[in-house]
Amino acid sequence: GQQLNQSPQSMFIQEGEDVSMNCTSSSIFNTWLWYKQDPGEGPVLLIALYKAGELTSNGRLTAQFGITRKDSFLNISASIPSDVGIYFCAGPINAGGTSYGKLTFGQGTILTVHP
Amino acid sequence: GAVVSQHPSWVICKSGTSVKIECRSLDFQATTMFWYRQFPKQSLMLMATSNEGSKATYEQGVEKDKFLINHASLTLSTLTVTSAHPEDSSFYICSATRAQEQYFGPGTRLTVT
């Protein structure tokens, strides 16, 4: 299966700051997904990307599907305390897979926001 | 609101016993569900694909005789951890697909003592 490398592993920021995290792979992905997981909960989809070069926003969140199809980044602007959690990138576990099939996840970025 | 539920949300069992975890799709039918495992501070790892009406398919390295999956109906999949050991302690998360989007359950925390 395809592997995802996510960085940074953790971030400690002040409320109001912007955040950026990214995900890379040695393989090409046709779909990039970004999830947020709150403690003791399952992950919730934030943004889905389906096309190389695509830039998509969801409120204060913006994500881009890299042109090479081997990377993606997620930005959070003007962070607030409820942004705290673990952010995961994910993609189909096999080349040609779909966002609603078997998924592989990055290692996660733990975000802490200080008020 | 939640579209996938899991029961129980947490369970403690003794080493050597078996424990069953349920995953239900709420108000929709799911012919396929997925089971993931997440160790503390780690990522989600796919364990198996649960198929309604047929056998589950397991990812490499996952023991099918230890993690029994039964997709009893179009809204229910169960994962039974047999002869549990402390190293099976983990957060088990299921997911189901509705309208080409995958929804994850809230997870079940299993602790084996």
Q: Inform me whether the pLDDT recorded for B26 exceeds 90.
A: yes
Kindly determine whether residue A45 and residue B101, on different chains, have CB atoms separated by under 8 Å.
Answer: yes
Distance from C-alpha of A66 to C-alpha of A11, rounded to nearest angstrom: 22
Kindly determine whether residue B34 and residue A103, on different chains, have CB atoms separated by under 8 Å.
Answer: yes
Q: Inform me whether the pLDDT recorded for B41 exceeds 90.
A: no
Interval B93-112: pLDDT, tens: 999 988 888 999 999 999 99
Question: Which residues are A61's β-sheet partners?
Answer: A58, A76
Of B34, B93, B105, the CB nearest to A102: B34
Chain B residue with the nearest C-alpha to that of A6: B43
CB distance from A108 to chain B under 8 Å?
A: yes
> Most A CBs within 10 Å: which of B3, B7, B43, B58, as the mutation test of the A interface?
B43
pLDDT band at B2; cut points 50, 70, 90: low
Distance from C-alpha of A73 to C-alpha of B74, rounded to nearest angstrom: 36
Residue A1: what pLDDT? 62
Kindly determine whether residue A98 and residue B49, on different chains, have CB atoms separated by under 8 Å.
Answer: no
Residue A12: what pLDDT? 97
For the record, the structure tokens of B73 come out as 């109906």
Identify residue A39 by its one-letter amino acid code: P
Kindly determine whether residue B46 and residue A103, on different chains, have CB atoms separated by under 8 Å.
Answer: yes
Distance from C-alpha of A82 to C-alpha of B30, rounded to nearest angstrom: 31
CA A40 to chain centre: 19
Chain B residue with the nearest C-alpha to that of A85: B41
CA angle B33, B77, A100 (to 5 degrees): 10
CA distance A60 to chain B (A): 22
Interval B58-95: pLDDT, tens: 999 999 999 999 998 999 999 999 999 999 999 999 99
Burial, A40: exposed, middle or buried (Cβ in 10 Å; 0-12, 13-18, 19+)? exposed
Residue B1: what pLDDT? 59
Query: pLDDT tens digits for chain A (115 residues)?
Result: 678 999 999 999 999 999 999 999 999 999 999 999 999 999 999 999 999 999 999 999 999 999 999 999 999 999 999 999 999 999 999 877 888 889 999 999 999 999 9
